Amino acid sequence: MNNGKKRKRPRWVPKDADDHYTTNVMDGIHSGHEGFERPEKKKKSFKRQSLSISDYEKGVLDGDRTIIARAITLVESNSKRHREDAQALIKRLLPHAGQSIRIGITGMPGSGKSTFIEAVGNFLCDNSHRVAVLAVDPSSSITKGSILGDKTRMAKLSTRPEAFIRPSPSGGVLGGVARKSRETMIVLEAAGFDVILVETVGVGQSEITVRSMVDFFLLLTITGAGDELQGMKKGVMELADAILINKADGENRRKAEVTKSEYNRILHYLQPATKGRETKAYTCSALTGDGIEEIWDIIRQFEKDVRASGVFTQRRHTQDVDWMHAMIDEYLQKQFYDDECVKANLPRVKEALLKGEMTPAMGASELLKCLS
Ligand SMILES: Nc1nc2c(ncn2[C@@H]2O[C@H](COP(=O)(O)OP(=O)(O)O)[C@@H](O)[C@H]2O)c(=O)[nH]1
Ligand SMILES: [Mg+2]
């Protein structure tokens, strides 16, 4: 170690110590876990390169996963500058988008949505499809991280190169989450994903929102103690293009068949979600894979029929117009509440209203004057 040269010894070394006394401390081995050396050299510090709109466009169209993920992050950003870039990017990607079938999947927690997506997603990837999974969960900003689109239940799918899973953006209000998910859908379609699965939880307004961005809406349910039909809201059933009774396996199988008949009896009297179609119930087991291929055939046949009848395109057009209106509403609302005059007068008007000195119409009219 001393290379034949006499080194200057540190102060802690006793005078009579031989050459084996520790006189210097070497760097340790740069290693990964367990002390094994990393195959690659020490990583250089890596600063994210900023991308131009053209870089994003090319990366997405080439199917570059890193750039796809970054494009989605851009789309999800709330900052004004990012919003402008995102719009420029979306505009360039739009001509390449729209070639997919968009499928919404809803159901109460525990009904097996994630397990179903794992099953159907892998089936589709095995059959030369490319599958993107999104989640719409407006509560995720409260729970910090969505339970939807969770990759633990999609263990195999999440590792496949033919699949892309994106958890819900934490956008706070449903409108914000929906806007981001719609734009994310454009990015993924432009990247060549031909099946888009949008998972949402079966509570509240989010089902209506997801219905308004998909071509086919699937309601997952399970057979239970016999009161499941009462628990199921008529309104939700009327959003669905198919009701799928999951967990039809083992001892549950027969019960699921009975439930299926009961649903079919009720569905007969309800308004179908898609013009000219009859919504029906089916059974499957996301766990064993039974019925997965059949439900895919149902969806494909549906797509074929509605494309032929023009209902498919009509629905997408209606959705685009609705989307535009939703964005105008969002913009105007923000303009209004961010206005200095509104901010200054809102508390006073509110108080006058509560004291009965003003009617709601007078209050609204006074505040709206701020914008004129
Ligand atoms: N027996 C059976 N269990 C299932 C099936 N699908 C899902 N599960 C189980 O139901 C539970 C909830 O599933 P999960 O996919 O997380 O439901 P989610 O909350 O709707 O996404 C898990 O323990 C799954 O293993 C099925 O087809 N059969
Ligand atoms: Mg889940």
- DSSP secondary-structure letter at 290? T
Per-residue confidence (pLDDT) for residue 150, from 0 to 100:
62
**Same-domain check for residues 143 and 272:** yes
> Is residue 31 one of the residues assigned to a domain?
no
Sign of CA dihedral 317, 322, 327, 328: positive
**Element (DSSP H or E) covering residue 133:** strand 131-136
Q: How far apart are CA 135 and CA 94, in angstroms?
A: 21
Question: How many residues comprise the chain?
Answer: 372
Overall domain count for the chain = 2
> Is residue 22 one of the residues assigned to a domain?
no
Q: How far apart are CA 286 and CA 277, in angstroms?
A: 25
Per-residue confidence (pLDDT) for residue 330, from 0 to 100:
80
Q: How far apart are CA 105 and CA 243, in angstroms?
A: 10
Half-sphere exposure of 255 (CA within 13 A, CB side): 16
Q: How far apart are CA 190 and CA 180, in angstroms?
A: 15
**Same-domain check for residues 310 and 354:** no
How many C-beta atoms lie closer than 10 Å to residue 42's C-beta? 7
Per-residue confidence (pLDDT) for residue 236, from 0 to 100:
84
Contact in structure between 135 and 168 (CB atoms under 8 Å): yes
**Closest ligand by atom to 106 CA:** 1
- Residue 169's nearest CA partner among 72, 84, 90 is 72
**Same-domain check for residues 347 and 308:** no
Pocket test for ligand 1, best of 108, 113, 114, 115 (most atoms within 8 A of CB): 115
Q: How far apart are CA 199 and CA 231, in angstroms?
A: 21
Q: How far apart are CA 88 and CA 82, in angstroms?
A: 10
Per-residue confidence (pLDDT) for residue 20, from 0 to 100:
62
Per-residue pLDDT of the chain (372 residues), as tens digits, is 444 445 566 666 666 666 665 555 555 555 445 445 555 555 555 567 889 999 999 999 999 999 999 999 999 888 888 989 999 999 999 999 989 999 999 988 888 999 999 999 999 999 999 999 998 877 654 444 445 556 677 889 999 999 999 887 765 667 778 888 899 999 999 999 999 999 987 666 788 889 999 999 999 999 874 455 555 677 888 899 999 999 999 999 999 999 999 999 989 888 899 988 899 999 999 999 999 999 999 999 999 999 999 999 999 999 999 888 988 888 888 889 999 999 999 999 999 999 999 999 999 999 999 988
> Is residue 164 one of the residues assigned to a domain?
yes
Residue 356 Cα to ligand 1 middle (Å): 53
**Same-domain check for residues 174 and 207:** yes
**Same-domain check for residues 127 and 243:** yes
> Is residue 245 one of the residues assigned to a domain?
yes
Q: Tokens representing 341?
A: 């005059």
The secondary structure of 48-70 as a DSSP string is: PPP--HHHHHHHHHTT-HHHHHH
> Is residue 132 one of the residues assigned to a domain?
yes
> Is residue 157 one of the residues assigned to a domain?
yes
Domain edge (last residue) among 272, 292, 318: 318
Per-residue confidence (pLDDT) for residue 45, from 0 to 100:
54
CA 107 to ligand 1: nearest atom? 20
**Same-domain check for residues 172 and 199:** yes
Q: Tokens representing 284?
A: 């499957």
Residue 294 Cα to ligand 1 middle (Å): 19
**Same-domain check for residues 190 and 121:** yes
**Same-domain check for residues 267 and 232:** yes
Q: How far apart are CA 245 and CA 112, in angstroms?
A: 10
Residue 209 Cα to ligand 1 middle (Å): 24
Q: What is the 3-state secondary structure (H, E, C) of 157-173?
A: HHHCCCEEEECCCCCCC
> Is residue 92 one of the residues assigned to a domain?
no
How many C-beta atoms lie closer than 10 Å to residue 239's C-beta? 19
Residue 115 Cα to ligand 1 middle (Å): 6
Pairing of strands 163-166, 280-283: unpaired
Residue 259 Cα to ligand 1 middle (Å): 18
How many C-beta atoms lie closer than 10 Å to residue 98's C-beta? 13
**Same-domain check for residues 165 and 290:** yes
Distance between terminal CA atoms of the chain?
83
For residues 135, 139, 145, 148, the Cα torsion angle rounded to the nearest 10 degrees is -30
Contact in structure between 245 and 284 (CB atoms under 8 Å): yes
Contact in structure between 192 and 93 (CB atoms under 8 Å): no
**Closest ligand by atom to 149 CA:** 2
CA 252 to ligand 1: nearest atom? 1
Q: How far apart are CA 279 and CA 267, in angstroms?
A: 7
pTM of the model: 0.81
**Same-domain check for residues 312 and 343:** no
Residues ≥6 apart with Cβ < 8 Å to 280: 242, 243, 264, 267
> Is residue 161 one of the residues assigned to a domain?
yes
Q: How far apart are CA 299 and CA 255, in angstroms?
A: 24
User: Where are the extended beta strands (E) located within 264-326?
Assistant: 280-283
Q: Cβ < 6 Å from ligand 1: which residues?
A: 107, 109-115, 153, 246-247, 249, 285-287
Per-residue confidence (pLDDT) for residue 223, from 0 to 100:
86
**Same-domain check for residues 298 and 354:** no
**Same-domain check for residues 209 and 298:** yes
Q: How far apart are CA 112 and CA 353, in angstroms?
A: 48
Range of the domain at 341: 336-372
Contact in structure between 140 and 110 (CB atoms under 8 Å): no
Strand order in the sheet with 242-246: 163-166, 131-136, 195-200, 101-106, 216-222, 242-246, 280-283
Q: Tokens representing 24?
A: 């210097």
For residue 248, what is the domain's CATH number?
A: 3.40.50.300
